[in-house]
Amino acid sequence: MSSGLARKKARAAWWFLTPALVLLALFFVLPVAAGLLLSLTDFDIYAVGDPSVARFVGLKNYAHLLSDGTFWRAVGNTLQFVLIGGPLSLAVSLAAALLLNEKAVRLRGLLRTVYFAPVVTTLVSVAIVWRYLYHPRYGLLNFLLGQIGVDPIDWLGDPNWAMPAIILLAVWKNFGYNMLILLAGLQVIPRELYEAASIDGAGPWRRFRHITLPGLAPTFLFVSVTTMIGYFQVFAEPYVMTQGGPLGATRSLVLFMYEEGFRWWRMGMASAVAVLLLVITLIGTLIQLRLDRREA
């Protein structure tokens, strides 16, 4: 290739990239960087009116948060959502993918569509639907449980049940997405491997253990990291279903950030929450990658 053509291509590349890069720089990179700075100020409702009154306060917001019970409660709630909801959702996705991947399955396309349907629904809408399903007296869920002799549960009114209720909704809403990706991962495992193992006398469990699991591992790592990152950002479910209650049992980090920033206009403090969310997410991702490397 002539160097003239190479130069021409390189110049064109920047023209093609400019719109995307400018938009990302202006509306993503700049705000994230500004968020770091904002978290070091006492930007509050007065500064919303006149930004010049905001002062640099160093790490004071962080010190305040780390000694604030409400913040730690939100961290705990979010971790509960991530550490219970995430694996539960992955388990359901994996089970659905494995079952759908069975050779004998009929109407596979239809079943796949049905399982995937909740993913494309509007989160606010289905959170409202589930709010009624969880109604202690008239809700369908308690009615069905009553049929098998379970006493009514005050799903969204009992601090012990509210987060599990939100997790259940999230699993129902999301499992179809990872199911599809895992299904794609299963389909790239060569069929001959299974056939060869069968000839060698490996039973279903050993085939699963020694062929399916290792073959699926890269895909599984990918979905577990993306799921975890997504689950850290839980917001609409508690906003719509419980407003963070009862007794703060479902106030997630992002909901806490939203309230600090857009209800009380403590934007410096809210930015510190956002930065800590980033830090926690990064730590979570690193732990997961490390765990995976050790297993591999």
Token match 């909704």: residue? 169
Contact set for another protein, span 94-113 (CB under 8 A): 96, 99-100, 102, 104-106, 111-113
Question: How many chain residues are in contact with another protein, going by CB under 8 A?
Answer: 94
Q: Does 257 bind another protein (CB under 8 A)?
A: yes
Q: Which stretch binds another protein (CB under 8 A): 62-70, 81-89, 151-159, 263-271?
A: 263-271
Closer to another protein by Cβ: residue 59 or 114:
114
Candidate list 12, 59, 150, 287; residue touching another protein; CB under 8 A: 12
Q: Does 24 bind another protein (CB under 8 A)?
A: yes
Contact set for another protein, span 174-233 (CB under 8 A): 177, 180-181, 183-185, 188, 218-219, 222-223, 229, 232-233
**120-152 residues labelled b (16+ CB within 10 A) or e (exposed):** eeebeebbeebbebbbeeebebbeeeeeeeeee
Q: Does 278 bind another protein (CB under 8 A)?
A: yes
Q: Does 38 bind another protein (CB under 8 A)?
A: yes
Contact set for another protein, span 40-69 (CB under 8 A): 48, 51
